[in-house]
Structure 1
């Protein structure tokens, strides 16, 4: 008799075990009784009536993401592929609507995304699609929220994650960008070359100015030295003409000496004679006398003209 009850005991144990079930965190289980909705169970260990109640389905209450790829045309007749990511979740208090009103929520969401994107993008040029992708995402989110809320779905966020124009269009855009960069680089190079030329010219002008100033200072010091030499010679009884002759002769021989001391210089042949210094002085005196006569003649002529 004991063996006769074993199958019933086992069957009863199985039925007892099947009356318990577990619902995971952030999920919900829909219980039906004889095919009719009975209740919604949330996370934890739950009990149902064996052979009467069954788990019709489970829904995740976590945030989920659906990626939708749409191909459409822009205002400037460019075909472009957009990837729109929709983040959504089932509203805890509307699990019934989410389970029973929609068989395929992914398809429903995809249809609305297609409808909004193909209504918005054809109003924009390709460049505007890149700039206003956030506006497209907001338009999709607004449309989905209005449509999916009554079905128990909350649209958390929509993102336009990729914009991929036609291959030929991308190649043309790359060529345009490369040409713009080359043009900008050429402009910068031209500006840099112009600045270098200007700065070089300024440096050369400054060098010439300083060189001229140096020569003027040098000549000024030479004249001052000659003046002091003449004054020294005058104090010992040598008149100005004799002093000038002595200075000219001294500089003449100093020049010859410096040329002879330069070992690296090429051979230079110069006419030289004992009276060379005297001849130079006579020539200078004659020049000064002639210039004084010309100056006096010009003054007299101007005076007569004024009278």
Structure 2
């Protein structure tokens, strides 16, 4: 009986050690193995053996991690204080570096993202923060990716979510936008007046070449006025040719009547 207990106890201990040594890593996990405190290898996924007491394992998740960067107070280059928050997407590409080179890669990446967000946005004006977000996102991503490369971290994307302004600045931006719209409206109106003037000049030149066209235009205007129910008066245009006839008759009258008023031959100089 004692001999049986002598064999059973070590067998149970051996089975317990084997069970404790068996580790199963998922497809997105890797195990960083240390042998007596020294880095040995990166294993996984699947079934691996880790000897208790001699080897230690640190599990690393290789999936993309979403990091919400807290709101940061940023003073822009034009001295405007804003609160900006962002979201950061990164993943581990080198499991060994993420364990050996940095104590906590998640906390380190979070702190680095906050400081980088403040420093990059502080170099730009408020208008650039609002209108050039894609460029700012790329700049922040490049800086973070270059600095976290030594930790085995790959920053895949950075997105600025909100740029919060105080009420006074919002009102100032609204006034600026209103003034900009008024300026555009005035420019468009002036361009319309210029085009209309050019068309009128072209029309006048054509009508000057054909006096009948001017008369037809008069008649068309009268027709438009007659169809308008609000018109109370109608003006009949006097043809320009008729005025020339009157001028020629007046010239003949002065020539035939020396004493007529306005005749150069009148000694009174046209005075009664």
Q: TM-score, normalised by structure 1?
A: 0.54
Q: In the TM superposition, what is the alpha-carbon distance from 1:133 to its structure 2 partner?
A: 1.6
How far, CA to CA, are the matches of 1:210 and 1:116 in structure 2? 70
The residue number in structure 2 matching 1:58 is 59
The residue number in structure 1 matching 2:90 is 88
Counterpart of 1:206 (choices 224, 236, 251) is: 224
Task: List aligned pairs for 1:1-307, cutoff 5 A.
Answer: 1=1, 4=5, 6-55=8-57, 57-68=58-69, 69-91=71-93, 94-170=94-170, 172-173=172-173, 206-208=224-226, 305=256
Aligned length: 200
3-state secondary structure, aligned to 1:149: helix
Q: In the TM superposition, what is the alpha-carbon distance from 1:163 to its structure 2 partner?
A: 1.4
Across the aligned residues of Structure 1 and Structure 2, the Cα RMSD in angstroms comes to: 3.7
Q: In the TM superposition, what is the alpha-carbon distance from 1:95 to its structure 2 partner?
A: 1.5
Q: Contact conserved, 2:101 with 2:150, CA < 8 A, in 1?
A: no
Q: Contact conserved, 2:87 with 2:159, CA < 8 A, in 1?
A: yes
Q: Contact conserved, 1:112 with 1:143, CA < 8 A, in 2?
A: no
User: CA 1:114–1:19 in 2, change beyond 3 Å: closer, same or farther?
Assistant: closer
Q: In the TM superposition, what is the alpha-carbon distance from 1:167 to its structure 2 partner?
A: 4.2
How far, CA to CA, are the matches of 1:209 and 1:58 in structure 2? 89
3-state secondary structure, aligned to 2:40: strand
Per-residue Cα deviation, 1:240-272 (whole angstroms, up to 9, x for no partner): xxxxxxxxxxxxxxxxxxxxxxxxxxxxxxxxx
Unaligned runs of 5+ in 2: 187-219, 230-252, 259-272
User: CA 1:148–1:123 in 2, change beyond 3 Å: closer, same or farther?
Assistant: closer
Q: Contact conserved, 1:63 with 1:89, CA < 8 A, in 2?
A: yes
Q: Contact conserved, 2:36 with 2:55, CA < 8 A, in 1?
A: yes
Q: In the TM superposition, what is the alpha-carbon distance from 1:182 to its structure 2 partner?
A: 10
Q: TM-score, normalised by structure 2?
A: 0.60
Per-residue Cα deviation, 1:35-88 (whole angstroms, up to 9, x for no partner): 222221111011122432222x11111111212132211233221111222211
Choose 1 or 2 for highest CA Rg: 1
Unaligned runs of 5+ in 1: 188-201, 212-301
Q: Which has the higher helix share?
A: 1
User: CA 1:7–1:83 in 2, change beyond 3 Å: closer, same or farther?
Assistant: same
3-state secondary structure, aligned to 2:150: helix
User: CA 1:132–1:18 in 2, change beyond 3 Å: closer, same or farther?
Assistant: same
User: CA 1:17–1:210 in 2, change beyond 3 Å: closer, same or farther?
Assistant: closer
Q: In the TM superposition, what is the alpha-carbon distance from 1:173 to its structure 2 partner?
A: 4.0
Q: Contact conserved, 1:78 with 1:166, CA < 8 A, in 2?
A: no
3-state secondary structure, aligned to 1:123: coil
Q: Contact conserved, 1:64 with 1:89, CA < 8 A, in 2?
A: yes
Q: Contact conserved, 1:116 with 1:139, CA < 8 A, in 2?
A: no
